[in-house]
C-alpha cells in the first residue's frame, strides 16, 4: 500500500527544550493512524510540521509524495487540518461558512459545493442558522466539512474531540470512519485512548520526543504481559498498554 506520510529522524527544539528527538513513522493511504502521547509529548508539533506551519530542525517529512520543507505548496493542496477548537466563523451561517471556503479555494459552483457538504454532514436543517447557535458536535461537524471542501486526500485531526460531550464525540468518530472508508487518510492525535482504540488501524506512542511503540492494537497487546486467566480472560485495554509502555521507559513497573 502506498505511503501517504513518511517521517524519518524528525527533530525540533524550542530554545533549549528538545521536543522531537528523531521521530520515525509512516502512514498508509486510506488508513486511520493515531498518534498517542501525554500533554507536551510533541503531538501538535508533529502535526504543525506535517501541515507546513512549522519548520523542522532536522530529519525529513514527506506528505503525499512531497517534502514539507521544499514543496510546501504541493503539500497544502493535498491536506486539511482540524485543530482542537472548531475554526468556524460564528457570525456566518453554516452555509455561508462553506461557500466562503469554496470561493477561497477557487472552486466552481460554491453554493452547490456547500449544499453537498451540508447533506453529507447532516447539517441541512441548520444550514441557514448562524454557527454561533450550533452545539459543540454541530460545530465540529461543520469544522470538518470546511476542512474537506475541495476533496482533501489527507486530513489531520489534532485532538478533535477535546471538550465535546460523549454524544458529540461519537458523531466525530462516525465521520472519521466514513472518511477513511471513502479513501481519505486520517492522521489523528488524541489523549483519549478509547478514541484510538475504536478508530485507529494503526497506533504510534510518542514519549519524550520519540516513537517508542507502534503497530496495530493487536500488535501492541503483545507488548503487554499475558492476560491472567481466572474465571474469564481479561484483555488489556489500550489505556493499560499505554501506561505499561510509558512506565517501562521511565523505569517504573506497570
For residue range 36-52, list pLDDT tens digits in order. Answer: 988 888 999 999 999 99
Is a pLDDT exceeding 80 seen at residue 98?
A: yes
Q: Classify 124 as helix, strand or coil.
A: helix
Q: Averaged over 50-74, what is the pLDDT? A: 96
According to the model, what pLDDT value does residue 230 have? 60
- pLDDT tops 60 at residue 54: yes
User: Which residues face 233 on adjacent strands?
Assistant: 229
How far is the C-alpha of 186 from the C-alpha of 213, rounded, in Å? 19
| Residues 178 and 223 sit within 8 Å (Cβ to Cβ) | no
DSSP 217: H
Would you say the C-alpha torsion 37, 39, 45, 48 has a positive or negative sign? positive
pLDDT band at 251 (very low <50, low <70, confident <90, very high): low
The domains of the chain are located at: 3-84+153-163+182-249
* Residue 27 confidence class, pLDDT cut points 50, 70, 90: very high
Cβ count near 227 (within 10 Å): 12
Position 254 scores a pLDDT of: 44
Closest CA to 10 of 34, 46, 36: 46
Identify the pLDDT of residue 249: 61
Quick check: 16 pLDDT over 80?
Answer: yes
Among 90-99, 172-181, 189-198, 218-227, which stretch is predicted with the lowest mean pLDDT?
218-227
pTM above 0.85, yes or no: no
Tell me the percentage of the chain whose pLDDT exceeds 70.
Answer: 92
Q: What angle do CA 14, 5, 197 make, to 5 degrees?
A: 90
Helix (H) or strand (E) holding 80: strand 79-82
SS3 4: strand
Average pLDDT for 118-133: 93
User: In which band, very low, low, confident or very high, does the pLDDT at 87 lie, cut at 50, 70 and 90?
Assistant: confident
Class assignment of domain 3-84+153-163+182-249?
alpha beta
* C-alpha cell belonging to residue 221: 497487546
Contact 130, 158 (CB under 8 A): no
Name 189's bridge partners. 35, 158
SS3 state at 226: coil
Asked if pLDDT for residue 163 goes beyond 90, the answer is no
Q: What is the mean pLDDT of the chain?
A: 88
> Mean of the pLDDT values across residues 183-208?
92
Amino acid at each position: 500500500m502506498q505511503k501517504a506520510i513518511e517521517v524519518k529522524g524528525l527533530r525540533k527544539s524550542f530554545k533549549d527544550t528538545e521536543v522531537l528527538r528523531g521521530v520515525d513513522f509512516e502512514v498508509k493511504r486510506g488508513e486511520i493512524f493515531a498518534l498517542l502521547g501525554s500533554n507536551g509529548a510533541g503531538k501538535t508539533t508533529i502535526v504543525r510540521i506535517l501541515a507546513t506551519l512549522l519548520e523542522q530542525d532536522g530529519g525529513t517529512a514527506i506528505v503525499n509524495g512531497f517534502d514539507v520543507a521544499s514543496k510546501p505548496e504541493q503539500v497544502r493542496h493535498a491536506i486539511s487540518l482540524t485543530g482542537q477548537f472548531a475554526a468556524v466563523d460564528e457570525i456566518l451561517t453554516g452555509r455561508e461558512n462553506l461557500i466562503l471556503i469554496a470561493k477561497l479555494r477557487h472552486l466552481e459552483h460554491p453554493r452547490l459545493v456547500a449544499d453537498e457538504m451540508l447533506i453529507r454532514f447532516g447539517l441541512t436543517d441548520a444550514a441557514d442558522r448562524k454557527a454561533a447557535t450550533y452545539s459543540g458536535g454541530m460545530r465540529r461537524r461543520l469544522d470538518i466539512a470546511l476542512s474537506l471542501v475541495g476533496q482533501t486526500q489527507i486530513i489531520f485531526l489534532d485532538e478533535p474531540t477535546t471538550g465535546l460531550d460523549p454524544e458529540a464525540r461519537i458523531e466525530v468518530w462516525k465521520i472519521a470512519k466514513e472518511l477513511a472508508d471513502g479513501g481519505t487518510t486520517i492522521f489523528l492525535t488524541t489523549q483519549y485512548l478509547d478514541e484510538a482504540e475504536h478508530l485507529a488501524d494503526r497506533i504510534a506512542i510518542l514519549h519524550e520526543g520519540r516513537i517508542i511503540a507502534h503497530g496495530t492494537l493487536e500488535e501492541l497487546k503483545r507488548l503487554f504481559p499475558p492476560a491472567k486467566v481466572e474465571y474469564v480472560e481479561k484483555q488489556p485495554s489500550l489505556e493499560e498498554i499505554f501506561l505499561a509502555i510509558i512506565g517501562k521507559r521511565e523505569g517504573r513497573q506497570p
